[in-house]
Amino acid sequence: MHNQQTRDYFKHADIKRITHNEIIEFRKYLIEKNLSNKSVNNLLATLSQLFEKAINEDVIKENPCSNVKRLPLNHKKMKFWRPEEFKKFISFIPDDQLLFKTFYTTAYLTGLRCGEMLALQWNDIDPYIMELDIRKSATLIKGEFIVTKPKTRNGFGV
């Protein structure tokens, strides 16, 4: 959808004539469409890459996205359950559902993402130093179970 907005906005534009001020106006347009700052920044980064490609192909001389400041990102404050809140949650899971209790308790105590937990294998668990080796994550893509690197840049022990 966001790429559609970019296409529509520049539908009749000539890439050779797009100015820095038009990029600023486009950023204002995206903000008025109530896109998040992250989405606006991502769209402008993609647009800038397009202009860089045009420079490399000798279509244009300058990137009109140059010196367009990124919008500040609003980092949401993480909320955590207090121990009594987690105990109340886990009490709703029947005792015969030990797998689910274990899954949610591990998530609560380690902060692992669901995909990171689903990708765990026995050799990722070191019972002697009581550590989990998190170097992969699992996800479902087009009905296929895929194991990839986790979101964090480098794996960590928990």
Total Cβ atoms within 10 A of residue 136: 17
Digit-coded pLDDT (tens) for 112-153: 989 999 999 999 999 899 898 888 888 888 888 888 876 655
Domain boundary among 56, 71, 98: 56
Please determine, for residue 156, whether its predicted confidence score (pLDDT) is greater than 70.
Answer: no
Task: Classify residue 44: in a domain, yes or no.
Answer: yes
pLDDT at 80: 85
Please determine, for residue 24, whether its predicted confidence score (pLDDT) is greater than 80.
Answer: yes
Task: Classify residue 20: in a domain, yes or no.
Answer: yes
**Which domain covers residue 117, as residue numbers?**
113-158
Digit-coded pLDDT (tens) for 143-153: 888 888 766 55
Task: State the average pLDDT over residues 53-60.
Answer: 94
Task: Classify residue 81: in a domain, yes or no.
Answer: no
Task: Classify residue 157: in a domain, yes or no.
Answer: yes
Please determine, for residue 44, whether its predicted confidence score (pLDDT) is greater than 70.
Answer: yes
Please determine, for residue 66, whether its predicted confidence score (pLDDT) is greater than 80.
Answer: yes
Domain boundary among 22, 41, 56: 56
Question: Which pTM does this prediction carry?
Answer: 0.51
Please determine, for residue 81, whether its predicted confidence score (pLDDT) is greater than 70.
Answer: yes
pLDDT at 155: 46
Burial of 127 (0-12, 13-18, 19+ CB in 10 A): exposed
Instruction: Tokens 């140059």: give the residue.
Output: 66
Task: Classify residue 84: in a domain, yes or no.
Answer: no
For the chain, how many structural domains are there in total? Answer: 2
Task: Classify residue 77: in a domain, yes or no.
Answer: no
Task: Classify residue 148: in a domain, yes or no.
Answer: yes
Task: Classify residue 130: in a domain, yes or no.
Answer: yes
Domain boundary among 32, 56, 80: 56
Please determine, for residue 5, whether its predicted confidence score (pLDDT) is greater than 80.
Answer: no
Task: State the average pLDDT over residues 94-106.
Answer: 93
